[in-house]
Amino acid sequence: MSKVYVSFDGWTTKGGKRGYLGIVAHYVDSSGELRDLPIALPQLTGAYTGEAMAEVVMAIFKQFEITVGKLGYFVLDNAHNNNTTINTLALQIGFSATERRLRCGPYTLNLIGQMLLWGEEKESYDNEETERVNEAENMATWRGDGPLGKIETEDAYARSRNNKLPAAPDWMRSDGINAHDWQVIAEYIDVLRPLKQATKRLEGRGKSGAFGAIAEVILVFEYLLGVYEDRLQSYEDVIYDEHTESPEDHLAINQ
């Protein structure tokens, strides 16, 4: 049998009265078959801290005699308490937390999408060092007041009304989404579409080349890199000051 690779995630019942931590072991058995085996669903008590989760996971490891020599990698989402859990386990068992902590491919794609929409790293700005502070402030304003900020605000308003469609309030009529805003939003949809396609490609538990197979991950990311490098060229001749409300920076290129 191969080493045991572990994933776990917590969730809460409706009403928030009980919390559980689902722990799954992934391994290749003696016949060469990949197995995904749920090994525990312990109830969590108290705060869902990384230390508390590590204590629960460690108890399960002892129960199933999963030692550091048998342990492979952890595949988890980016929740902060997961980081603390792995760091705590690393100290107790004796392994490198940085080396053993992996992220799932689709979750990484989600982070890329968030950076494309709301990225805030000043290193992404294609400006002189002295201009980056001002550009960061301009982009922060644009994120809140620009097309994406408007549609996010209106979506939140609709949700607060249980998705009903009341008559638009004054603030929505006077400062709503105009034709240019829809142009920008349509452009963002087009930019994000490859991420959706890549996410669908990596979903599932693929075997023998089917969707979701681990062998596809690097190929999918290479495909995305090529798509966005090609798209970069289409922005080379864009006139960024064509609209006064547009951000002055080349952030779309560098993200």
pLDDT digits (tens, 9 = 90+) for 191-220: 999 999 998 888 776 565 566 666 678 888
Task: Quote the pLDDT of residue 39.
Answer: 96
Query: From CA 124, how far away is CA 134, in angstroms rounded?
Result: 13
All structural domains of the chain, each given as residue ranges with its CATH number in brackets, are: 4-103 (3.30.420), 107-254 (no CATH)
pTM: 0.60
Query: From CA 204, how far away is CA 143, in angstroms rounded?
Result: 34
CA-wise closest residue to 212 among 109, 130, 69, 143: 109
Task: Quote the pLDDT of residue 108.
Answer: 84
Task: Quote the pLDDT of residue 146.
Answer: 65
Q: What is the mean pLDDT of each run of 10 residues along the chain (255 residues)?
A: 92 84 93 91 88 95 95 88 94 94 84 76 46 53 61 64 57 61 83 91 67 75 92 76 54 45
Task: Quote the pLDDT of residue 222.
Answer: 92
CB within 8 A of 254, min separation 6: which ones? 124, 125, 126
